[in-house]
Structure formats: structure tokens, C-alpha cells
Amino acid sequence: MLEIGTKAPEFSLSDKDGNIVSLSDFLGKKVVLYFYPKDNTPGCSRQACAFAGAYEGFKAKNVVVIGVSKDSVASHQKFAQKYDLPFILLSDPERQAIEAYGVWVEKKLYGKVSFGVQRSTYIIDEQGCIEKVMPKVKPDTNAEEILSYLEGQA
């Protein structure tokens, strides 16, 4: 995981419509960058829906929400349509951002070891530096925790 105060690694990835989105596109705005394992899985769907439900609160604070996973552009498009997700979803099949942000980790499940995305969130400030690191977040409460944190910043 990256440290608070360090420059957030730049990336350019495709969104659900195939458009290239770069982190630098959002300089001057706060960015909530959340990494999740897989579209249409129970935890990831709950997390995405929680962000969708809180989206007006983020918009009111001029905060950009970006979700990143290894899923394809087509998968993101279906995921966004199915749950009516109003925020940006980025496809990172080559793990460019996933590895740069240190969220590609060894996981153990029932004694089996594999690698995957650790559900984590970064808040990036208006100058492109990491303001807050939230490793191993809970899908149901992540969006509300971030909004509460941002309200304390006001």
C-alpha cells in the first residue's frame, strides 16, 4: 500500500465505454479511487451499490468516484447497467494501476494460496497526492465511511 502524502501513481485506463481516463484528468478535484476484485460478485455488487447510493453526496462535494478492477470494458458496461452505477469504472486487465497502488496481494482461502485484488480505497487530494489510505475495506460501509471522513474535512 502507498503512503499518505506521496504522489498518487498516474494511470490511463479504459472506462466502461472504452474511453481512456487518466488520473491527471481530475487534478483540482478530490478523487475516491477504489479497487475491487470482480464485477457481479456479491461483495463487489454491494460496494458498488453503496457508492451509487452515496453518489449525490460525493457529487455535492465535487468528489470524483472511480472504481477499478481487472474486469473487461464489456463486463464493466454490463455491471454499470445492471446496477445503474453513475460513477466511473475502469478496466485494468494488465494490472497497471492495481499493482502501482499495491493492491495485488497474496490471498489465502481454505488453505489455498492465490493472488488477487485486495478491496482497498484511496482518497487523492486536489494536487494528486494520497490523502487517505483505507486497506481491506468492508463493501457495505466503505462509501459511508468516506463521506463521513470528507465531512470532517469541511
Question: Whole-angstrom Cα distance, residue 1 to residue 40?
Answer: 25
Position 31: which residue type?
V
Burial class (CB in 10 A: 0-12, 13-18, 19+), 127: exposed
Residues 6+ apart with CB under 8 A from 68: 13, 33, 34, 35, 36, 89, 90, 92, 97, 98
- The catalytically annotated residue of 8, 21, 31, 44 is 44
Active site residue 49: no
Closest by Cα among 123, 135, 96, 128 to 1: 135
Q: For residue 63, give the C-alpha cell.
A: 468528489
Catalytic positions are 44
